[in-house]
Amino acid sequence: MNKYAVWGNPIAQSKSPEIQQHFAQQQNITLDYQRMLGDEVRFEQQLAQFFASGGQGCNITAPFKERAFRLADLHSERCLMAEACNTLKKLPDGRLYADNTDGAGLVTDLQRLGWLQPQQRILILGAGGATKGVLLPLLQAQQQITLANRTLAKAQQLADKFQSYGSIRAVELDHIPVKPFDVIINATSLGLQGKVVEIKSKIMQKCGLAYDMQYAKGSDTPFIAWAKQCGTAQTTDGIGMLIGQAAHAFEVWFGVMPEVSTLLKNLNL
């Protein structure tokens, strides 16, 4: 039996088991995929035990992505740049391989939506872990990125770190250029508090596409609600990114990229 899991704390809310089971059925693979509650102190021992007892791979979610990154033996380039891991795989020689499929999941979703053209101007709000996880795949997709963050120094650090991969610059939230952006992506954690990052509404009004990396079942996230109020023509939350990152993790484990559109239509996530 293929033994896989998702580790996090909390973990009960995770949609990963449903998503991965859907992909496994689609590919005729029998999969044992469990939710695992990580312990703040013993997480590394728990993971070692999981792999020692037959675990072949797992997803990692908050708050363990950085710890999983540190305990792996090998890393993909996108994982090294993200300094965080959402996918682990046990290699045949026993070493642990770490990847980060969040950015690929976002890029796949933007492609699915028809929102990805080369050399677009993308505004990303926020410069925390969520942003760092998606920058390399976005730059590799030739996006021109403006990073706006409350703490300018954090955005500037990321812009410096990633500047050899493409066009990226940092600005303060109240110094965002008014020249129109093709897509605005919310990567702040503010939606969790029911809030929206404060930028001038005319920046939003001049942009036709708004994407929230967070998602909310059955209602608009605060950012999406605000974008709609500003008259943004098309909006979407991050459910497609969630499914996309899961699909890329499945590909890391089983070598085949599952089809995502049926899941988006049929699964009640």
Q: How far apart are CA 64 and CA 84, in angstroms?
A: 9
127 known member of a binding site:
yes
Size of the site for ligand ATR (CB under 6 A): 13
Task: Estimate to the nearest angstrom the gap between the alpha carbon of 198 and the chain centroid.
Answer: 22
If one asks whether residue 63 binds ligand ATR (CB under 6 A), the answer comes out as no
| C-beta of 143 vs 149, nearer to ligand ATR | 149
User: What's the min distance (Å) between Cβ of 65 and ligand ATR?
Assistant: 8
213 known member of a binding site:
yes
Per the CB < 8 A criterion, the answer to whether 267 and 16 are in contact is: no
* Ordered strands of the 74-75 beta sheet: 31-37, 2-8, 57-60, 87-90, 96-99, 74-75
Binding mask 170-209 for ligand ATR (x = CB under 6 A): ------------------xxx------x------------
User: What's the min distance (Å) between Cβ of 170 and ligand ATR?
Assistant: 11
Render 58-101 in DSSP notation, one character per residue: EEE-TT-HHHHHHH-SEE-HHHHHHT--SEEEE-TTSPEEEE--
201 known member of a binding site:
no
User: What's the min distance (Å) between Cβ of 257 and ligand ATR?
Assistant: 26
If one asks whether residue 10 binds ligand ATR (CB under 6 A), the answer comes out as no
The DSSP call for residue 181 is P
If one asks whether residue 127 binds ligand ATR (CB under 6 A), the answer comes out as yes
For residue 52, the one-letter residue type is A
Determine the number of helices (DSSP H) and then strands (DSSP E) in the chain: 11, 12
Per the CB < 8 A criterion, the answer to whether 219 and 191 are in contact is: no
Task: Output the residue with the shortest Cβ distance to ligand ATR.
Answer: 128
Q: How many CA atoms lie within 13 A of 78 on its CB side?
A: 23
Per the annotation, the verdict on 65 as an active-site residue is yes
If one asks whether residue 126 binds ligand ATR (CB under 6 A), the answer comes out as yes
> Would you call 226 helix, strand, or coil by DSSP?
helix
Q: For residue 132, list its beta bridge partners.
A: none
2 known member of a binding site:
no
If one asks whether residue 150 binds ligand ATR (CB under 6 A), the answer comes out as yes
126 known member of a binding site:
yes
248-165-177-111 Cα dihedral, nearest 10 degrees: -30
| Residue in 65, 89, 90, 132 annotated catalytic | 65
Length of the chain: 269
Q: Which of 16, 56, 108, 149 binds ligand ATR (CB under 6 A)?
A: 149
- Name the residues annotated as catalytic: 65
Annotated binding-site positions for shikimate: 14-16, 61, 86, 102, 215, 245
Q: Using CB under 6 A as the criterion, which residues of the chain lie in contact with ligand ATR when the complex forms?
A: 126-130, 149-151, 154, 188-190, 197
Q: Residue positions in the annotated binding site for NADP(+)?
A: 77, 126-130, 149-154, 213, 238
